[in-house]
Amino acid sequence: MMPVQPAPAGLPSGSFGGRSRRRSAAASPHLARLLNAPHRLGFFAGALMLAMSALWWGASLLARATGIAVPWSVSPSTAHALLMAFGFMPFFFVGFLFTAGPRWLGLPAMPARQLLVPTGVMLAGWLLALVGFHASAALAGLGLAAVAVGLALATGLFGLMTLDSPVADRDHARLVVLGCAVGAVALWVAAVAVVLQRDLLARAAVHGALWGCFALVFATVAHRMIPFFTAAAVPALDAWKPRALLGILALLVGIQAPFAVAEVLGGGSLPAAPAALRAATELPAGALLLWLALRWGLVQSLRIRLLAMLHMGFFWLGVAFTLGGVSHALMSLTEGQLSLGLAPLHALTMGYLGSTLVAMATRVACGHSGRTLVADNWAWAMFWALQAGVVARVAAALLPAAGTPLTLFAAQCWLAAVGAWALRYGRWFLQPRVDGRPG
């Protein structure tokens, strides 16, 4: 057999060299590929907002620590709460729900082009809101209202899919629609509150949405996906997810929303009786959720990084409830003089919501790009940087004397983790699948 000779330089376009150049061009990032699948559009927009919000808040903290004056038309704490709650998670909701949702509901895939309007409106709204946070409360409120419109449009589309579904079991989808509707309403309330410069009302809307929207949606998805993924990866475990458990999870997180709203409107504390009542719901819930994390295979999952990331995220929900229960018990016993401060809140937001978001988005990014479903060393390092940030932020709330340096360290860990995630996985959504399949 004659040896194959390398193609000489300068071959015409039909040669090996031309084909190689065409393959290279085909694999190069291109914005048009965002319309190949819903997860590409939603996750790319989410990655942009994730990185931008981390940079923005890190810069704000650094300016405050170094004494640099920054103009604010909305209080920094309110702006931070709004951006970290609504800035990126709705985009990941769009990417995930319109990718997994049709499979749940027995419907054909939705073209990503149909999601351009809600995604574009939300992105434009955040552009206005971020400028408005520093220049004009009215502009910030207008931007938040636009984000609410975009989220409402996406919620309506998913709601119509749920109604059109021929599948009998639509409980997960219905709870997701409910949660997203609560989020849209909370955003409208926040938009009005920002314009009227009612900071407490705006923050109350955020805290209500954290439980009534984000925690509800995440817990619903966890009930459906964690047992399924675990049983597939660890055959010794069963996919244990009784229907009653879904209702219990929804109830546990849902009843925290009115408590959270009342606490914010009360200036950050509750009277003794409501605080005791909230502690009485949180402490048993925390014990149940920590047990459930073990029942679902937390320990067994540690051998499989990508699965462990998802389980560790859910574990933080039990920690958040437990810390909240202790905090409100202290608040009840001391008439509001003692509590754990913001520790339970950041265990919920950075710990549960942040960790679960990174874990699930990494899984979808790998699987839907044609890559192996594994968390490599980079992904594992990003996740542990995030965990270090969560621990530091919770510790900052528990140790006020070291609060500022720990908070700055937590912000740096958050920026490193989510910034690295956005840079690495964001470009995958602009490239073709590595296995050559469509999508």
pLDDT tens-digit profile, the chain (439 residues): 344 444 444 334 444 444 444 444 446 788 999 999 999 999 999 999 999 998 998 888 888 888 898 999 999 999 999 999 999 999 999 999 999 999 999 999 999 999 999 999 999 999 999 999 999 999 999 999 999 999 999 999 999 999 999 999 999 999 999 999 999 999 999 999 999 999 999 999 999 999 999 999 999 999 999 999 999 898 888 888 899 999 999 999 999 999 999 999 998 889 999 999 999 999 999 999 999 999 999 999 999 999 999 999 999 999 999 999 999 999 999 988 999 999 999 999 999 999 999 999 999 999 999 999 999 999 999 999 999 999 999 999 999 888 789 998 998 999 999 999 999 999 999 999 998 888 7
The continuous run of DSSP H or E covering 66 comes out as helix 38-66
Angstrom distance (rounded) from CA 153 to CA 115: 9
pLDDT at 27: 65
CB 344 within 8 A of CB 394: no
Angstrom distance (rounded) from CA 276 to CA 324: 11
For domain 36-430, the question of CATH label 1.20.210.10 is answered with yes
pLDDT at 88: 96
CB 339 within 8 A of CB 328: yes
Residue type, 330: L
Torsion angle, alpha carbons of 253, 51, 148, 86, to 10: 20
3-state helix, strand, coil in the chain (%, to 5): 80, 0, 20
Phi and psi torsions of 234, nearest 5° = -125, 90
Report the greatest alpha carbon distance in the chain: 90
Conformation bin of residue 431: beta by default, left when phi > 0, alpha when psi is -120 to 50:
beta
Instruction: Quote the pTM value.
Output: 0.91
Angle (CA) 408 411 412, round 5°:
90
